[in-house]
Every structure is written in structure tokens, then in C-alpha cells.
Amino acid sequence: MIREFHAVDLQPRNSFGVRQRADRLVEFETVGDLRSVFADGVPERWMVISGGNNVLFTQDYAGLLLTPVSQGIRVLHDDGASVCVRVDAGVEWDDLVAWAVGRDLWGIENLSAIPGKAGAAPVQNIGAYGCEAGRAIERVEMYCVESGAMLTLDRAHCGFGYRDSVFKRELKGRIVITAIELRLSHVPQPHLGYGDVEREVEARGGATLRNIRDAVCAIRRAKLPDPAVMGNAGSFFKNPVVELSVAERLRAEYPDMPCYPSQKEGCVKLAAGWLIDRAGMKGFRTGHVGVHDRQALVLVNTGGATGLEVLELARAVQAKVRDRFGVEIDTEVNIC
Ligand code: EPU
């Protein structure tokens, strides 16, 4: 069933809590709903707004926004070692993680407490604590706006990379994700290698699914601001992937600088949070915006900020990091 809104206030629909309007917003459930939305042609401007957790509106949106609200989670098959689960795009990602943990299914527990919906997970290939959604996602179902047909893409064709996928690139503005299929395991496969996870899990009595989920939730709660309390979109910037020679130059000057392996040949990933922190911007406040005081990758709306104020701060942070380290940090959040 469709619910349609006009001149809609986006404040409750974006985690930054910025006050902009959209001409039209349609909440949809089924493929039939999408067909009827596009029956009179494709509007000049449209996009999907899922949970609104990775978007910054800097002006009113003069177009159509589509929000999935379908809620199904269904086991498609179970071979005793693993299960294939089909999840509608409108399911809250963390409800899905809780569902899996509650059924002793491994594969997405490290991705606990990430705000957003299941349909958005493949787009930026959400990741945390050494795991990425793309590792568990087997297939993505989508509606093709140009042809009106349904398509299913296997993982091999999803182009998953660090915070990257084909849905952000070639398929951007052409499809609407309606469901994802995940492969989850009955066999324990804990990934504890990242940061504080192992210590927090041990403190809870060892590597059970429940303990990993609780540990990840506790670590996130301690570092990341709750959007319900202070508007934010999680990491505003991506960790920059730089050539080895750049990292070596910086490492010579800053021996404690974190470096991570990158999937890209001859490159390493730096920690943008560390760079922003060392550039002296952590906890910086101006007007109604700021850099979070416990995680410098996160920009916050301290109350009543406009999207433009956030954007201005983002540009200032990028400039500081460029001046200090000669490194470009790109935004992770979509700016509209
Ligand atoms: N660091 C600092 N100061 C800071 C922030 C970080 O020195 O203010 C240092 C940390 O001490 C650590 C390194 O930078 O040595 C990396 O920090 P952290 O482990 O907190 O992870 P991150 O690289 O800052 C990424 C993801 C997060 C995810 C965490 C944990 C991106 C853009 N961000 O952050 O994802 O939760 O790892 O896996 O990749 C998100 O995408 O919204 C998000 C929160």
C-alpha cells in the first residue's frame, strides 16, 4: 500500500535532523506500488530515502522521494550449515541483526546497532569491526525504473568494496532496491580482531553471538552519538585510501598513525578520525554544528543546524586535514 505526502517536512526523516522539505514523498511496500508510482513516467528528480541515516539535505528537495516500508524476513532455505534469508528493504537493519542473533545465526553480529534499513545496506556496503554487509549478502532484488522490470543481482555483480557498490555508481538513479538475500551460518565464526571487540567480548564471558552483539552495541554507544539525542549521520567521511609512499611519508613523521590494509593494490587505508583528531578538530564547535568529541569522523547538529552549516563545517575539516597532512578525505554521506 502506498502512503503519499506533499510538501513534507524531512526533519523526522533524516538523522541529521535538518529542517528541509520535499515536494513529494511516497512510502511503498510492493513492486506493484512502485509500478503505480512510475506509471505516468519517471519524474525528473527522484531518489530513495530509506532511514535517512546517510544523507545531508542542504536545500529543499524539488522532486520525489521513495521510502520502502515493507517488513518481511523469511528463511528461503536451510541446509543445516547455513540459511538463506530474504529481507524486505524496509526492515530496520538492527532488527534484522537481532533476529539473526536470536536464532543463533552468524554473519552480521559485528554490524549491530548500525542505524538504517536493510535495503540501504548494500548501497554503501555498511561495515564495522572488521565485517562488511557485502560478505553476507548473496543477492539484491531491485526494480528497474527505466524498464519497469524486476532484476536480481548476485554478489559477484554487486561491486562491493569499502563503502562502495555498483548501486552507488552504475546503477545510481536507475533502480530501487526492494529486498536483499543473506547467507547466515549455523556454524560459529566470530570475528574479534578489530580494536576493542575481543576485550569487550571476553569481559562478557566469551565469543557467543549474544556477547558479540552486546559488546559491539556497548562500543558504539560509548563512541557514537545517538541521532535521537544529537543529529548526525555516523561517519561523515570515508577513511582515505592512499598510496603506500604517502603513508610511509606520514608514518615517518607520525609513527603512531593507524594504517589498515586496503583491497586496492599498492595502497593502504588511513583513519580519517585520527587525521581530523590530530589536525585539532575533534570536539570543535561553531554555531549549531560540531565535530563529535568522542569520534572525530562524526559531524553533529548540536541543535537547529541547517544542512549548509554542516556542509561548511565539513569543508573546513577537509581543508584542515589537507593543510596538515596533504591527504584528501571524501564524504561518505550523500549531500543533496
Ligand atoms: N581515532 C582517533 N580519533 C578519533 C577517531 C578515531 O585517533 O576521533 C583513531 C582510533 O583510535 C583508531 C582509528 O582512528 O586508531 C580508527 O578509529 P575507529 O576504530 O573508531 O574506526 P573508524 O575508522 O573511525 C570505521 C567506520 C565506522 C565503524 C568503525 C568500527 C568508516 C568511515 N567508519 O570508523 O563506521 O563503526 O570503523 O568498525 O569506515 C559509519 O560508517 O557510520 C561508521 C560509524
In eight-state DSSP terms, residue 60 is -
Q: Can you say how many angstroms the Cα of residue 35 is from the centroid of all Cα atoms in its chain?
A: 27
Residue of 135, 194, 274 best suited for mutating to test ligand 1, as the one with most atoms within 8 Å of CB: 274
Active-site annotation holds for 235: yes
User: Grid cell 549474544 — which residue?
Assistant: 210
Could you read off the pLDDT of 104-114 as tens digits, one per residue? 999 999 999 99
Domain boundary assignment for the chain: 3-68, 73-185, 231-335
Could you read off the pLDDT of 117-158 as tens digits, one per residue? 999 999 999 999 999 999 999 999 999 999 999 999 999 999
Closest residue to atom 5 of ligand 1, CA basis: 273
Sheet with 3-9, side-by-side order of all strands = 3-9, 21-28, 61-68, 46-48
Domains 3-68 and 231-335 share a fold: no
Q: Does residue 235 have its Cβ closer than 6 Å to ligand 1?
A: yes
Q: Does residue 258 have its Cβ closer than 6 Å to ligand 1?
A: yes
Give the CATH number of domain 3-68.
3.30.43.10
Closest residue to atom 11 of ligand 1, CA basis: 274
CA of 47 to the centre of ligand 1 (A): 28
Closest residue to atom 28 of ligand 1, CA basis: 128
The identity of residue 190, as a single letter, is P
The identity of residue 124, as a single letter, is Q
pLDDT at 249 > cutoff 90: yes
pLDDT at 289: 98
CA of 277 to the centre of ligand 1 (A): 11
Contacts of 49 by beta carbon, 8 Å cutoff, 6+ apart: 10, 13, 14, 25, 55, 65, 66, 67
pLDDT at 194: 86
Q: Does residue 271 have its Cβ closer than 6 Å to ligand 1?
A: yes
Rounded CA separation 207/299 (Å)? 33
Determine which one of 24, 235, 262, 309 is catalytic.
235
Sheet with 82-88, side-by-side order of all strands = 73-78, 82-88, 175-185, 137-144, 150-154
Residue 29 CB neighbours (<10 A): 19
CA of 297 to the centre of ligand 1 (A): 7
Rounded CA separation 213/200 (Å)? 10
Closest residue to atom 10 of ligand 1, CA basis: 274
CA of 26 to the centre of ligand 1 (A): 34
CA of 215 to the centre of ligand 1 (A): 16
pLDDT at 13: 97
pLDDT at 195: 81
Determine which one of 24, 139, 163, 213 is catalytic.
163
pLDDT at 57: 98
As assigned by CATH, the class of the 73-185 domain is: alpha beta
Give the CATH number of domain 231-335.
3.90.78.10
Mean pLDDT of all residues in 286-292: 97
pLDDT at 263: 86
pLDDT at 312 > cutoff 90: yes
Q: What is the dihedral of CA 261, 262, 268, 269, to 10 degrees?
A: -90
Active-site annotation holds for 74: no
The mean pLDDT of the chain is 96
* Position 60 confidence tier, pLDDT thresholds 50, 70, 90: very high
Rounded CA separation 26/186 (Å)? 38
pLDDT at 163: 93
User: Percentage of the chain surpassing pLDDT 70?
Assistant: 100
Question: Of 108, 119, 124, 89, which Cα lies nearest the Cα of 235?
Answer: 124
Q: Does residue 53 have its Cβ closer than 6 Å to ligand 1?
A: no
Residue of 297, 300, 321 best suited for mutating to test ligand 1, as the one with most atoms within 8 Å of CB: 297
* Position 30 confidence tier, pLDDT thresholds 50, 70, 90: very high
The identity of residue 120, as a single letter, is A
Residue of 221, 235, 281, 321 best suited for mutating to test ligand 1, as the one with most atoms within 8 Å of CB: 235
* Cα separation values, 189 from 53, 106, 178, Å: 29, 7, 29
DSSP 130-148: TEEHHHHEEEEEEEETTT-
pLDDT at 91: 98
CA of 155 to the centre of ligand 1 (A): 26
